[in-house]
């Protein structure tokens, strides 16, 4: 697919989403919104995955029981306190992780990650982290793509957007 054809609609949709009510970028200049939108669009193009809103994610989860949702935030500080019901946890770092680094993934290997995702390379996988600015979900989606998974999504709004939508969350007791 032509990069320009993908980037233009993605940029427009991202900008529209970021200008909605109660967004974390409210009060930012149009120039700053543009920069953040372009950053997300470039991450997405570079990563080779697709984006989903929280509403699209919820609909997908309700309609397809094979969907695997992966929370990429730290277990103790985030996942344990609140996560999407049914989501599994696998830690990824915020900076780009070009090479596998077990120190950044909670001492888990690439094989551990692949085992979590399962053998079906066409299974829908949805990665999320905290909020749009967080890029842990980007790293998870990129690594799933690298391992040959073909139906990879990132929900950039993360758990914050999920809770704003008033969707249920789970905790670990």
What DSSP string runs through 117-159? Answer: H-S-TTS-EEEE-SSTT--HHHHHHHHHHHTT-SSEEEETTHH
Interval 62-115: pLDDT, tens: 998 999 999 999 999 899 999 999 999 999 999 999 999 999 999 999 999 999
In percent, the amount of the chain with pLDDT more than 70 equals 85
Instruction: Please state the pTM of the whole predicted model.
Output: 0.83
Helix, strand, coil percentages in the chain from 3-state DSSP, rounded to 5: 45, 10, 45
Q: Are residues 42 and 53 in the same domain?
A: no
The pLDDT, as a whole number, for residue 26 is 67
Instruction: Give the residue from 20, 1, 8 showing the smallest Cα distance to 161.
Output: 20
Q: Are residues 94 and 40 in the same domain?
A: no
Q: Are residues 155 and 129 in the same domain?
A: yes
Q: Are residues 168 and 118 in the same domain?
A: yes
Q: Are residues 89 and 126 in the same domain?
A: yes
Q: Which domain holds residue 164?
A: 49-173
| Domains held by the chain: number | 2
What is the spatial distance between Cα 105 and Cα 117, in angstroms, rounded to a whole number? 15
- Per the CB < 8 A criterion, the answer to whether 126 and 68 are in contact is yes
What is the spatial distance between Cα 93 and Cα 173, in angstroms, rounded to a whole number? 25
Q: Are residues 25 and 65 in the same domain?
A: no
Q: Are residues 81 and 34 in the same domain?
A: no
CATH number of the domain where residue 91 is located? 3.40.250.10
Q: Are residues 99 and 144 in the same domain?
A: yes
The pLDDT, as a whole number, for residue 132 is 87
């Amino acid at each position: 697919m032509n990069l320009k054809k993908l980037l233009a609609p993605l940029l427009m949709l991202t900008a529209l989403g970021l200008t909605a009510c109660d967004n974390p970028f409210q009060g930012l200049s149009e120039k700053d919104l543009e920069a953040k939108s372009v950053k997300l669009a470039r991450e997405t193009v570079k990563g080779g995955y697709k984006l989903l809103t929280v509403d699209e994610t919820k609909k997908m989860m309700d309609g397809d029981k094979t969907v695997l949702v992966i929370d990429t935030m730290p277990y103790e500080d985030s996942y344990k306190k609140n996560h999407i019901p049914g989501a599994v946890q696998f830690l990824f770092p915020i900076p780009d992780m070009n090479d596998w680094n077990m120190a950044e993934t909670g001492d888990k290997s690439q094989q551990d990650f692949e085992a979590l995702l399962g053998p079906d390379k066409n299974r829908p996988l949805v990665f999320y982290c905290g909020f749009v600015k967080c890029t842990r979900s980007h790293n998870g989606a990129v690594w799933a793509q690298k391992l040959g998974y073909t139906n990879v999504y990132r929900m950039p709004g993360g758990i914050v957007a999920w809770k704003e939508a008033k969707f249920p969350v789970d905790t670990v007791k």
